[in-house]
Amino acid sequence: MNRQGDVRRDEDRLADIVRASVAIANVVEAGRAHFDADEQYQVFVLHQLTVIGEATAALSRRLKARHPEVDWRSPQDLRNRLVHAYFDVDWDIVWRTGCNDVPPYAAQIATILEGYTEA
């Protein structure tokens, strides 16, 4: 929790998504063998995907409506699956998501963040 309590702005949440995406990129860059061999890498990526889903879910409806080109639902759905079905994580899906889905999503979010205004 930040000093202001639970209140965070869209800009903060967009930055959270970008940071989590960069963190995932750093892990997947090491390769699948490292990911498979180290449970800490797996849990780290899983956590970062959860951060992305949680931050996406908390973005304002207004911001989401201004950017209908972004798939806002998938990160939230993945977060829900990872958190509520933690006992049945498919690490292939986590890996593919980190490699294939996160980079273009992060690029979209970074573009929104670069041009961010609260108006």
Active site residues: 79, 84
Q: 3-state DSSP call for residue 45?
A: helix
First and final CA of the chain: distance in angstroms? 26
Cβ atoms 63, 93 nearer than 8 A: no
The CA distance from 107 to 113, in Å, is: 10
